Amino acid sequence: MSQSEQDRQKIEAARAALRMVNNGDVVGLGTGSTATHFVKLLGERVKEGLQVRGIPTSVDTKTLATNLGIPLTTFEEVQMIDVTVDGADEFDPRLNLIKGGGGALLREKIVASASRQMVVVADGSKRVEKLGRFHVPIEVIVFAQELILAKLAAIGAKAQLRVVDGSPFRTDEGNHILDCDFGLIDDPAALARTLSDMPGIVEHGLFIRMASIVLVADANGVIEVRPESPTKE
Ligand code: 5RP
């Protein structure tokens, strides 16, 4: 898919998500290029009179939303988000996700976990039968990094420290990211549990049964994908 076609699909998916937002909603604002399109479109609606309060999933999204005049709130004021709209790096037929390509997976997962509905917006390249072609981002505390690298190697993962402009990438919380190749993942829920059980891993980019719906664009338009029921757990 060409870059311009991919961008077009991202914008169409983001536009489709506007219909999931109602007047008065608290809206989780995702991070990444597709979520950015959504935030910009939401900003236009706010200028037209839509009343919402946003909870951003990153410093970048907070800055964008503030510049667009979208009112923001925090978990001090509200503990339940009506709908979160965010992107994904991959989604499978059960709507399990890999997220964190933009490094915001920790706040993204917290916001998604506090949401009545998590709406994922994606271009067609994000749809896969099995997760794992995109490397799973894992946010680690710097103190534990070498320990986690050894533990990941022991379970067969190839992990690489994320480096940007010659320096380790720092998340909004000041942690590092390890991008991990597990091959194609047969059982994402089991892998997610294994990773969650490793002290020093702050969060990982496997989002298991968190998405309510994916709005995925392709050459013909936007399709709503809902989770296939599991055949076994
Ligand atoms: C950021 C994310 C993004 O949602 C994900 O990387 C998809 O990004 P894009 O919409 O730019 O393809 O998880 O941490």
Mean pLDDT of 142-149: 98
Domains: count for the chain: 2
What was the pLDDT predicted at 2? Answer: 93
Amino acid of residue 198:
M
Question: pLDDT digit string (tens) for 75-94?
Answer: 999 999 999 999 999 999 99
Q: At 161, phi and psi to the nearest 5?
A: -65, 130
SS3 annotation, 205-230: CEECCCCCEEEEEECCEEEEECCCCC
Q: What percent of the chain has pLDDT over 70?
A: 98
The letter for the amino acid at 124 is G
Question: Is 190 within a domain?
Answer: yes
Q: Which of 31, 64, 111, 128 is the pocket-test mutation for ligand 1 (most atoms within 8 Å of CB)?
A: 31
Question: Are residue 121 and residue 141 in the same domain, yes or no?
Answer: no
Please indicate, yes or no, whether residues 158 and 122 belong to a single structural domain of this protein: no
Note the pLDDT tens digit of each residue in 41-76: 999 999 999 999 999 999 999 999 999 999 999 999
Within a domain: 25: yes
Closest CA to ligand 1's atom 4? 87
Residues 49 and 154 in one domain: no
**Percentage above 90 pLDDT, the chain:** 96
Mean pLDDT to the nearest integer, 99-122? 98
Which helix (H) or strand (E) covers residue 48, if one does? Answer: none
- CATH code for the domain in which residue 187 is found: 3.30.70.260
Q: What is the pLDDT at residue 1?
A: 87
Cα-flanking dihedrals φ and ψ of residue 76, to 5°? Answer: -70, -35
Ligand 1: nearest atom to the Cα of 123 = 12
What is the band of 228 on the pLDDT scale with cuts at 50, 70, 90? confident
For ligand 1, is residue 101 a contact (CB within 6 Å)?
yes
Could you tell me the CATH number of the domain that includes residue 100? 3.40.50.1360
Q: What is the pLDDT of residues 154-212, one digit of tens each?
A: 999 999 999 999 999 999 999 999 999 999 999 999 999 999 999 999 999 999 999 99
Task: Provide the pLDDT confidence category of residue 232 given band limits of 50, 70 and 90.
Answer: very low
CA of 87 to the centre of ligand 1 (A): 5
The pLDDT, as a whole number, for residue 229 is: 66
Alpha carbon distances (Å) from 103 to 25, 83, 158, 175, 187: 26, 21, 18, 10, 23
Over range 99-109, report the average pLDDT.
98
Give the dihedral of Cα atoms 171, 172, 175, 179; nearest 10 deg.
Answer: -20
CA–CA gap between residue 167 and residue 107 (Å, rounded):
22
Query: What's the whole-number average pLDDT of the chain?
Result: 96
Q: Do 215 and 184 belong together in one domain?
A: no
DSSP-derived pairing of the beta strands 136-140 and 221-225 = unpaired
Question: Are residues 111 and 14 both part of a single domain?
Answer: yes
Asked if residue 158 and residue 62 are part of one domain, the reply reads no
The verdict on residue 182 lying in a domain is yes
Catalytic annotation, residues: 108
85 lines ligand 1 (CB under 6 A): no
For residue 58, give the ligand 1 atom closest to its CA: 14
The pLDDT-based confidence of 230 (bands split at 50, 70, 90) is low
pLDDT at 73: 98
- Asked if the model's pLDDT at residue 233 lies above 50, the reply is no
The answer on 103 and 175 residing in a single domain is no
Q: Which domain holds residue 51?
A: 3-127+208-219
Q: Is residue 57 part of a domain?
A: yes
